[in-house]
Amino acid sequence: KLMPLIEQVIAEAGAPELTGIAYTRGPGLVGALLVGASIAAGLGMSRNLPVLGVHHMEGHLLSPLLEDEAPAFPFVALLVSGGHTLLVQVEGVGRYRVLGESLDDAVGEAFDKAAKMLGLGYPGGPAIARLAENGTTDRFTFPRPMVDRPGLDFSFSGLKTYTLNCVQDLGEPNDQDRADVALAFQDAVVDTLTIKCRRALRETGSSRLVIAGGVSANMRLRQRLENMVHTERARLYVPALKLCTDNGAMIAYAGWQRLAAGERSGLDLTVRPRWPIDELARPPAAQA
Ligand code: KG4
Ligand code: ZN
């Protein structure tokens, strides 16, 4: 599938002159990572182009910089995807300090599991958001996990169990019941994320909040954060919807930032199924 896809993308982009190849080196499933790494290495060798392995979450993190109104460094970033929930202090490319993360399920994963309980398909996030549009406000109130504890970590497994119990108590939920649960679930998640983002802005003294990753496509989350940053006299930077969920542009952009600074990966095909984002280094030019 990958070779015809690459050919199609290059043709649609008007056959640009390539100066380097970026691929996703991790974190993720090792099989998928190896496919990308092998093809990148093969193309790099045959075309005599530099190759660089990119961190998937750095791709998400830098994706708002592709917008016309890009944030300046430093900023606080909320990264919310199917595999990760991270609050990161960002000083520049490769200069990341993790402020908080999920101790169990990622937010996107929680959306996907809650969706399954409600009989919805994958991806669960957009399905829950759509269902929640018909929900009745204040019928159910779900817990906001860990907001009354200090710190910037998250936990979503308790909310997941709460949701499951609620659905089971309803017996055979009708459409309205399911919409009400979806709304209560989404509100609890959005509230929790908003509270932690406000805390992160205050603790770092930052006036810029960036969100990225699949869950950042959630309209309710975008609205609530927009209101919050307004009262905090800060600004919210969001990627276009097509750049929120996984895409090649964000990997190309992160790779370009590093390749342009002279960074290269070897052709040894090492991938990193686990790869904490704060292990990333600054590109060489920035270090000089
Ligand atoms: O970043 P992403 O595309 O892939 C990963 O790196 O995991 O994120 C996928 C996650 C899925 O869990 C999906 O349910 C969630 O993002 N998602 C959403 C929305 N769109 C995608 N969650 C809530 N609301 C949305 N509109
Ligand atoms: Zn992703």
Model confidence pLDDT, tens digit, residues 90-129: 999 999 999 999 999 999 999 999 999 999 999 999 999 9
Tell me how far the alpha carbon of residue 18 lies from the centroid of ligand 2, in angstroms.
24
* Best mutation site among 215, 216, 247 for ligand 1 pocket (most ligand atoms within 8 Å of CB): 215
Q: Would you state the pLDDT for residue 288?
A: 45
From the list 255, 270, 288, the residue with the least C-alpha distance to 21 is 255
Amino acid at 249: A
Tell me how far the alpha carbon of residue 177 lies from the centroid of ligand 2, in angstroms.
31
Tell me how far the alpha carbon of residue 80 lies from the centroid of ligand 2, in angstroms.
8
d(CA 121, CA 102): 24
The per-residue pLDDT for range 215-239, each reduced to its tens digit, is 999 999 999 999 999 999 999 999 9
Q: What lines the ligand 1 site, CB under 6 Å?
A: 81-83, 108-109, 111-112, 123-126, 129, 213-215, 217-218, 245-246
Three-class SS string for the chain? CHHHHHHHHHHHCCCCCCCCEEEEEECCCHHHHHHHHHHHHHHHHHHCCCEEEEEHHHHHHHHHHHCCCCCCCCEEEEEECCCCEEEEEEEECCEEEEEEEECCCCHHHHHHHHHHHCCCCCCHHHHHHHHHCCCCCCCCCCCCCCCCCCCCCECCHHHHHHHHHHHHHCCCCCHHHHHHHHHHHHHHHHHHHHHHHHHHHHHHCCCEEEEECHHHHCHHHHHHHHHHHHHCCCEEECCCHHHHCCCHHHHHHHHHHHHHCCCCCCCCCCCCCCCCHHHCCCCHHHHC
What residues does 55 pair with on adjacent strands? Answer: 26
Q: Would you state the pLDDT for residue 64?
A: 97
Q: Would you state the pLDDT for residue 286?
A: 60
Q: Would you state the pLDDT for residue 164?
A: 98
Ligand nearest to the Cα of 107, by number: 1
Q: Which atom of ligand 1 is nearest to the CA of 123?
A: 14
| Consecutive 10-residue averages of pLDDT for the chain (288 residues) | 94 94 96 96 95 97 96 98 97 97 97 98 97 97 92 96 97 97 98 98 98 98 98 98 96 96 85 95 74
Q: Would you state the pLDDT for residue 267?
A: 75
For ligand 1, atom 19, name the residue with the nearest CA.
125
